[in-house]
């Protein structure tokens, strides 16, 4: 038998073996106990930690409810939301927020269904937005403040940068309206839940969430301290 034929036979055999033993899926991220242990030290107040624990409890109940309705891994379930990634998304959200906004996010109203922190964590867990690890705390504060300031019953429109996945409030009154992304300079924006256009940032977002809780994971990467000088970038956008 020629060498070429032997190689082809081996390749076919390897393909059959690979089909029998598909690679294990990547872990979907950490659980709630580990997430609370990571976020707890970031919160100054016991009330904040209690609010976060209640949020985790509620999410676990929802997760159980979903598991009964749709078996894990089913396509229908994934289209609705990806609750496996919510603990990791919660860690990333709190780790990257500036401390003053952390305290405002660890609040029962902000974490309730429809609250600004709840929505932001949901967008992260569903990979329809991302907080890049090196985003400046000052930029994040300016983009998050309109969400945090709005009353819970009032929806803030939003858009997502197709270059990096950063989310920002969307309204003609905002100073960054129509301006490039204040983080990556990208000019293409989309609405969350619209077709994300295959942005590479979604794969980054998935990897960043999967890395949460591991040594040297993304959540431990400290955000940049220095904000960009105002004249070098449009305000917040």
> What residues line the site for Zn ion (CB under 5 A)?
161, 163-164, 166, 181, 183-184, 186
Least Å distance, CB 182 to Zn ion, is 8
Residue 28: count of CB within 10 angstroms of its CB: 18
Smaller CB separation from Zn ion, 90 or 129: 129
CB of 210 to Zn ion, least distance (A): 21
Closer CB to Zn ion, residue 53 or residue 184?
184
Closer by beta carbon to Zn ion, 31 or else 186: 186
Task: Between 181 and 205, name the residue whose CB sits nearer to Zn ion.
Answer: 181
State in angstroms the smallest separation of the CB of 204 from Zn ion.
12
Task: Supply the minimum distance, in Å, between the C-beta of residue 34 and Zn ion.
Answer: 29
Q: Which is nearer to Zn ion, 85 or 166 (CB)?
A: 166
Minimum CB distance to Zn ion, residue 101 (Å): 19
Asked if residues 107 and 48 have their Cβ atoms less than 8 Å apart, the reply is: yes
**Distance from C-alpha of 231 to C-alpha of 129, rounded to nearest angstrom:** 27
């Amino acid at each position: 038998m020629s060498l070429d034929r032997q190689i082809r036979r081996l390749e076919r055999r390897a393909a059959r073996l690979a089909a029998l033993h598909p690679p294990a899926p990547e872990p979907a991220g950490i659980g709630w106990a580990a997430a609370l242990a990571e976020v707890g030290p970031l919160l100054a107040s016991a009330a904040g930690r209690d609010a976060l624990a209640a949020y985790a409890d509620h999410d676990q109940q929802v997760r159980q409810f979903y598991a009964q309705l749709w078996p894990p891994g089913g396509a229908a379930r994934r289209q609705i939301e990806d609750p496996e990634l919510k603990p990791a998304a919660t860690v990333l959200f709190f780790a990257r927020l500036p401390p003053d906004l952390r305290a405002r996010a660890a609040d029962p109203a902000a974490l309730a269904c429809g609250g600004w922190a709840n929505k932001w964590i949901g967008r992260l867990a569903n990979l329809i937005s991302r907080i890049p690890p090196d985003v400046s705390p000052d930029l994040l504060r300016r983009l998050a403040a309109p969400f945090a300031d709005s009353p819970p019953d009032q929806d803030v429109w939003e858009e997502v940068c197709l270059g990096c996945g950063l989310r920002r409030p969307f309204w003609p009154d905002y100073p960054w309206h129509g301006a490039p992304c204040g983080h990556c300079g990208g000019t293409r924006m989309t609405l969350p839940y619209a077709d994300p256009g295959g942005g590479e940032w979604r794969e980054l977002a998935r990897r960043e969430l999967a890395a949460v809780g591991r040594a040297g994971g993304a959540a431990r990467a400290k955000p940049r301290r220095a904000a960009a000088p105002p004249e070098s970038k449009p305000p917040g956008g």
